[in-house]
Structure 1
Amino acid sequence: MRRPRAVRPQLEAPQHPGPIRTRDPPAVPASAASHGTLSHPNNDGSPVITTTDLTKVYRTRDREVTALDGVNLHVDKGEVFGVVGQSGAGKSSLIRCVNLLERPTSGTVSVDGQDLTALAGSGKRASRALREARGRIGMVFQHFNLLSSRTVLGNVELPLEILGHSGQERTRKAKELLDLVGLADKAKAHPAQLSGGQKQRVGIARALAGDPKVLLSDEATSALDPETTRSVLQLLRELNRQLGLTVLLITHEMDVVKAVCDSAALMKGGRITESGTVAELLATPGSELARELFPVGGAPSEPGRTVVDVTFHGETTTEPVISKLSRTYNVDISILGAAMDTVAGKQVGRMRIELPGSFDDNVVPIGFLREQGLTVDVAAVADAPVTDAPATDAPGTDAPGTDAPAGRGEALTEEDAK
């Protein structure tokens, strides 16, 4: 299955040989790079959630706000897909349009092969067919939304009541779900007696009451402390694997993407500027999401140096590649920054190194790194120092170096070119 992907380069740099692929947002072509096959068993490569040219415009008396601007999204069966972006990027509008809590201004939304926008009808009330379709989509909210007057068991039973289940069946199913999320001993407690993490687990159990195929998570961990966040994310991953759930979550936290996501998309200004599996993103030079997942800093220490970002994944994380490069080509390498973490269950590292000389001087060493299976992204090429041209002995006498502008080619300015 192909997923659109547009990658924005970090900065403008000289054209380099090798497989550096960049593409200018915001347009996201349907024929963009392929979507890799995920490693976990629930995925069969078929899309469960698809949005096509999705637009949402909020109108007031005196202005319009475009929250979604032609969003194309594909979430494959059985994967955990994260949409990441800053506040105001359009994430919440997107996830609320997926189950039509917000009706799109234009475009289509399909879930499990069913076009939900076609079921919406023209009235304000949802059609019966849309309500039935929503029953197969669970949603977890940021602020829990539990009824304080009901017990934990009663909160989980609520959607089953709405669906018309008998009292005995409601109780049986709700107890099973509480056991699944680790709260079997809290059935008779009230929300006020629970911690934030426990409340969110109740919210997750309630979202699973209708046996959904899709689970939507709207910033479900943003109000939780780091330790509780990790436990809730672990629960979502376990449910994804045990129940075969497809999970679409939105977040502004990169740690959430690193912890549980198989794939991710970056939203800015109501548009998806980049998407793909996490492995694809980390292997794509210029990927903004990859840089934010593994931020490494460091500028050239002096003119005439080349700064390169190197991403290690798979078996390369345990290989002494940088040491081998230094010995093979007798080159001095400075490490400006490094980060290593586990992403989607695999160890990934990112390192920023500095090489002496211009990019042209380092074509072979950079090629060597790529041959070792590393992703290489040229972050900066510092200009070489400008030196005065040697004086001539007499007019008309050529001296070495006087035919070229002062300094190396990297230091040429537009005025020099004129």
Structure 2
Amino acid sequence: MITTTDLTKVYRSRGREVTALDGVSLHVEPGEMYGVIGRSGAGKSTLIRCVNLLERPDSGTVTVDGQDLTALPGPRHRAGRSLRQARTGIGMIFQHFNLLSSRTVRGNVELPLEILGLTRRERARKALELLDLVGLADHARAYPAQLSGGQKQRVGIARALAGDPKVLLSDEATSALDPETTRSVLQLLRDLNRQLGLTVLLITHEMDVVKAVCDSAALMEKGRIVEAGVVSDLLATPGSRLAHELFPVAGAVPGGDRTVVDITFHGDSAGQPVISHLARTHEVDVSILGAAMETVGGRQVGRMRIELPGHPDTNAAALAYLRERGLTVELPAEAEPIDKGPAPLDKSPDPDELAPESTR
């Protein structure tokens, strides 16, 4: 449904150049909820603006629902109508709602319908249907100042659905909301994804968002996608950075003649007493350093860090036993360390700060 190929975008301002996108290729399947995660300045916002061509990439292609948007003339061109028509199939949800304070809730939802040329009666009917869909039918005559943050975002979602889009883009839609409201808005997006068959591409810096609703995810750093895939597959991939970020395991890695093992339980193994069987079958003392069970991508997933006495070579049979039971087994002492601290200081500006004001 959404495919980007080798996207590049460089911002230039006052003699400075910042590469926001550096050869980004991404593929989102129809009906999928796809999350792009990364720190501030990674290029996430630029990527999502390039998908609907609010930002035109310097090179590369963007294809949505089989149509190459980058091949269409810009809106200022005489033939720019084709791009405007293509954009009606792409809804956009913004972080800061972008509601008009002078319009009622219904009036805000009707705005894109006015642009599409619907009659007053058609606009009113459609707007009320959409407000009912997002649970705000009884707030149609209210003004944005009378709404909570979560309600404002629901209005933004209803407005984004006005053109009956096939694709919904979410630009940090929950980052300004409290945790409980975030959960309700994410659940709404998931429900719309399933009920309407929407393809949803969302960007976020919150791992919990990806864990809660995403089928697939990509990790962005410095304008590049460094890892991508189906969330459940990533969790079963040894050494996956996204898996470690999505579901970190607590417990220090001690030294000495011990074997520390990180185990991921997924599928049928999540409910099996594998560790107790391991202790009995191999007569080994197992120390549990940390453990957690969460729902990731709609599936129960467990992570555990255990300690076995002796060097890994002496525990080869025990490790093989765990792998035979369908578990993902990693030795964190041998793995490349993952940076868990704050991002290093970078004197280069944030790409979004150099983006034109109208596209931020």
When normalised by structure 1's length, the TM-score is 0.78
Equivalent residues in 2 for 1:265-344 (5 A)? 265-344=218-297
The answer as to 2:197 corresponding to 1:244 is yes
Pair 1:130-2:83 in alignment: yes
SS at match of 2:18: strand
Unaligned runs of 5+ in 1: 1-47, 383-418
Tell me the matched-pair count: 335
Matched, 1:101 2:41: no
Matched residues in 1 for 2:79 and 2:151: separation? Answer: 32
Q: Which residue of 2 is the match for residue 347 of structure 1? A: 300
Q: Which moved more, 1:350-359 or 1:138-147?
A: 350-359
Q: 1:127-171 CA distances to partner (integer Å, 9 max, x unpaired)?
A: 111111011000000000000000000000000000111111111
Aligned mates of 1:49, 1:228 — CA distance in 2? 28
The answer on 1:257 being equivalent to 2:210 is yes
Question: 2: distance between equivalents of 1:120 and 1:134?
Answer: 13
Which residue is equivalent to 1:358? Answer: 311
CA shift, 1:302, in A, is 3.9
Q: Deviations over 1:43-66 (max 9, x none)?
A: xxxxx0000001111012311100
Q: Distance in 2 between matches of 1:265 and 1:312?
A: 22
* 1:305–1:381 CA contact under 8 A, matched in 2: no
Distance (whole Å) between structure 2 residues aligned to residue 275 and residue 380 of structure 1: 24
Which deviates the most, 321-330 or 133-142? Answer: 321-330
| Distance in 2 (alpha carbons) for counterparts of 1:316 and 1:228 | 33
Q: What residue ranges of structure 2 are gaps of 5+ in the alignment?
A: 336-360
- Aligned: 1:81 with 2:34: yes
For the residues of structure 2 that align with 1:114 and 1:381, how far apart are their CA atoms? 46
Alignment of 1:14-413 (within 5 A): 48-121=1-74, 127-380=80-333
Bigger radius of gyration, 1 or 2?
1
Alpha-carbon deviation of 1:327?
1.0
Identity score, percent: 77
Tell me if the contact between 2:75 and 2:83 (Cα under 8 Å) persists in the aligned partners. no
Q: Give distance in 2, aligned partners of 1:259 and 1:297.
A: 20
Label 1:122 to 1:155 Cα distance change in 2 as closer, same or farther (>3 A).
closer
Q: After TM superposition, give the deviation of residue 331 of structure 1 in Å.
A: 1.2
123 and 202 in structure 1: CA distance in 2 versus 1, 3 angstrom threshold: closer
Runs of 4+ that moved beyond 4 A: 121-126
Higher helix share: 2
Change (3 A) 1:328 1:126: farther
C-alpha contact 1:80 1:263 (8 A) present in aligned 2: yes
State the secondary structure of the residue aligned to 1:380: coil
RMSD: 1.5
**What is the rounded CA distance, in whole Å, between the counterparts of 1:306 and 1:250 in structure 2?**
38
Give the secondary-structure state (helix, strand or coil) at the position aligned to 1:284. coil
In structure 1, C-alpha distance between the alignment counterparts of 2:141 and 2:2, rounded to whole Å: 36
Name which structure has the greater RCO, CA cutoff 8 Å, separation 6+: 2
In 2: Cα distance, 1:120 partner to 1:376 partner: 51
For residues 255-297 of structure 1, the C-alpha deviation after alignment (integer angstroms, 9 at most, x for no partner) is 1111111111111111111111111100000011111111113
Letter matched to residue 154 of structure 1: G
